[in-house]
Chain A
Amino acid sequence: MIKFIATNKWFHNHHVLRNINLEISKGEVIVICGPSGAGKSTLLRTINKLESIDDGEIIVDGMYLSDPKTDLTALRAEIGMVFQHFNLYPHKTALKNITLAPRKVRGLGKKQATEKALKLLERVGLTHRRDAFPVQLSGGEQQRVAIARSLAMEPKIMLFDEPTSALDPELINEVLDVMVSLAKEGMTMVVVTHEIGFAQKVADRVVFMDDGEIIETGIPPDIFVNPQHPRTRNFMSSVFHIPVFGETEEEK
């Protein structure tokens, strides 16, 4: 579904993606983690070409992103994206946020688009908030509307960039629950997150990145509990406070 082949990217002189090779199959749920500045967001954003790459190739749903003949707008319509800061349109109600793209891109009529949006609002538990403006919604509610907005396009792939890290702790689960149910329905998902519980529950693979590189990839227990690479080990013990084989400095 998504394939990175020897992908490199620089911001000026800064090498932010270093020889990325990664293949993601249909229906897979991939969690990407790693320290701040590792290049996680950049990697995610290359999938729908919000960022372009300087070297290598990315193939999404059979389309080559470097090919000038690839219809990017059409491809982007098939890839949903959820942002850390929600990015709802502030001048539109929850309902109108959701119906905009189906109407303008898919050409749905007002009635059809509204029906679909109401189903999605029900799915994320926000039917009663349909006429609220983003400013009137809590962070958790905004993020659920944002997920519904992406789903309204019936995407083949969903990308999440730290969807819960701007939320108060008590609002995180309502968003994760929606994501878990999506994963269980077989959506192809690439999720940048440090929510270890979410990863343990639904991730097929966890990708650990540092300094623009994929350091290691594996099933959740392998990466979180039993990482092979010292950089992964350091990160896990410092961020998740998981004792790794009693090898951290304090425990010696």
Chain B
Amino acid sequence: MITGVKITLILLVSTTISSLLLGTVIAIMRVSRIKVLRAFGTLYVEIFRNIPGLFWLLFFYFVFPDLLPPGLAIKLNTYTYYPVVAGIVGLTVDNASYVSDILRSGRLAIPHGQREAAISTGLGRVQQYIHVLLPQMFRAALPPLGTRMVHNFKNTSLCMAITAPEITWATQQIESLTFRGIEATAVATLFYILLAGVMVSIIITLEKVLKIDISSISHSETAS
């Protein structure tokens, strides 16, 4: 069960970070002026958001290795942690599609004047994003982003389907090996509630720390 918690934590932390990164890249593509990037971003979201996350987990675990050269496939299939790796990839591509949607709305909520001010002081494209747009996108998107990340946390339990030994998988194992299912379920429930609680308090703290900026964003919108 301790291993289960560890694996769930690994899945949670790594997919939170990687889906945030991937989601940001996709969001920027979707508002890009370059048509090909925009089309790619839209295609990504349409594909990954409309197909269940469980499908992607199964895909990366069972199908993906077969698409590779045989030597590599065998290596992956015999790699002890491949279920966890496939889990991370599957959850990331799934969650990133939602994250990019949330960040895209955040981007669209920023008044045009922000980018124009940045341009007129000579900031380049990348600098505009890093210093002016992204900070405002994340602030505006924080509440729905937090909800999304808790959702993603719950989705880590789907990884049991590909034998990644996370909490739910461990619970099942204990139940079928020792028939002490009730105790195992109780402990698993406790861990889930605890972890979700920690996440929510991190999100609330972030919202508090950044609150002044959020109020100013909505203020400048009403002003213009």
**Given A85-B220, A135-B216, A77-B117 contact (CB < 8 Å):** no
- A83 at the binding interface (Cβ < 8 Å): yes
Contacts of A105 in B (CB 8 A): 121-124, 127
Contacts of B220 in A (CB 8 A): 85, 87-88, 90, 134-135
**Given A83-B113, A90-B217, A91-B213, A104-B123 contact (CB < 8 Å):** yes
B201 CB, nearest partner CB in chain A, Å: 23
B135, closest chain A residue (CB): A91
Interface of chain A residues 50 through 76 with chain B (CB within 8 A): 50, 73-74, 76
Contacts of B135 in A (CB 8 A): 91
A134, closest chain B residue (CB): B216
- B114 at the binding interface (Cβ < 8 Å): yes
- A150 at the binding interface (Cβ < 8 Å): yes
Q: B215 and A74: CB pair below 8 A? A: no
Number of interface residues of B (CB under 8 A): 28
**Which of A87, A133, A139 has the most chain B CB atoms inside 10 A of its CB?**
A87
Contacts of B120 in A (CB 8 A): 48, 50, 76, 79-81, 150, 159
Q: B131 and A100: CB pair below 8 A? A: yes
**Which of B118, B122, B124 has the most chain A CB atoms inside 10 A of its CB?**
B122
- B143 at the binding interface (Cβ < 8 Å): no
B124 CB, nearest partner CB in chain A, Å: 5
Question: 1/0 contact trace for B25-64 toward A, CB 8 Å?
Answer: 0000000000000000000000000000000000000000
CA distance A76 to B121 in the complex (A): 6
B33 CB, nearest partner CB in chain A, Å: 13
Q: B116 and A50: CB pair below 8 A? A: yes
B137 CB, nearest partner CB in chain A, Å: 10
- A215 at the binding interface (Cβ < 8 Å): no
Contacts of A81 in B (CB 8 A): 116-117, 120
B138, closest chain A residue (CB): A91
Question: 1/0 contact trace for B154-184 toward A, CB 8 Å?
Answer: 0000000000000000000000000000000
A96 CB, nearest partner CB in chain B, Å: 9
A71 CB, nearest partner CB in chain B, Å: 10
Interface of chain B residues 165 through 224 with chain A (CB within 8 A): 210, 212-213, 215-217, 219-220, 223-224
Contacts of A146 in B (CB 8 A): 117
A19 CB, nearest partner CB in chain B, Å: 26
**Given A90-B219, A90-B220, A149-B121 contact (CB < 8 Å):** yes
CA distance A40 to B217 in the complex (A): 28
**Given A76-B119, A77-B122, A101-B122, A87-B213 contact (CB < 8 Å):** no
B138 CB, nearest partner CB in chain A, Å: 9
Partner of B223, one of A73, A101, A153, A166: A166
CA distance A105 to B124 in the complex (A): 8
Q: B212 and A135: CB pair below 8 A? A: yes
Question: 1/0 contact trace for A191-229 toward B, CB 8 Å?
Answer: 000000000000000000000000000000000000000
- B139 at the binding interface (Cβ < 8 Å): yes
Q: A135 and B215: CB pair below 8 A? A: yes
CA distance A79 to B219 in the complex (A): 28
* 26 A–B pairs (Cβ distance < 8 Å), ordered by A: A48-B119, A50-B119, A76-B122, A80-B120, A83-B116, A83-B117, A85-B113, A85-B220, A85-B224, A87-B117, A88-B117, A89-B114, A89-B117, A91-B136, A91-B217, A100-B132, A101-B122, A101-B123, A105-B121, A134-B219, A135-B216, A135-B220, A149-B121, A150-B121, A153-B122, A166-B223
Interface positions of A (Cβ within 8 A of B): 48, 50, 73-74, 76-81, 83, 85, 87-91, 100-101, 104-105, 133-135, 139, 146, 149-150, 153, 159, 166
Sample of 15 more A-B contacts, CB < 8 Å, known A81-B116, A150-B121: A73-B122, A73-B123, A80-B120, A81-B120, A83-B117, A88-B117, A91-B139, A101-B122, A104-B127, A133-B212, A133-B216, A135-B220, A146-B117, A159-B120, A166-B223
Interface positions of B (Cβ within 8 A of A): 111, 113-114, 116-124, 127, 131-132, 135-136, 139, 210, 212-213, 215-217, 219-220, 223-224
Ranked nearest first, the 10 interchain pairs of A and B with the lowest CB-CB distance are A77-B122, A135-B216, A90-B216, A101-B121, A87-B113, A81-B120, A87-B117, A91-B213, A85-B224, A105-B122
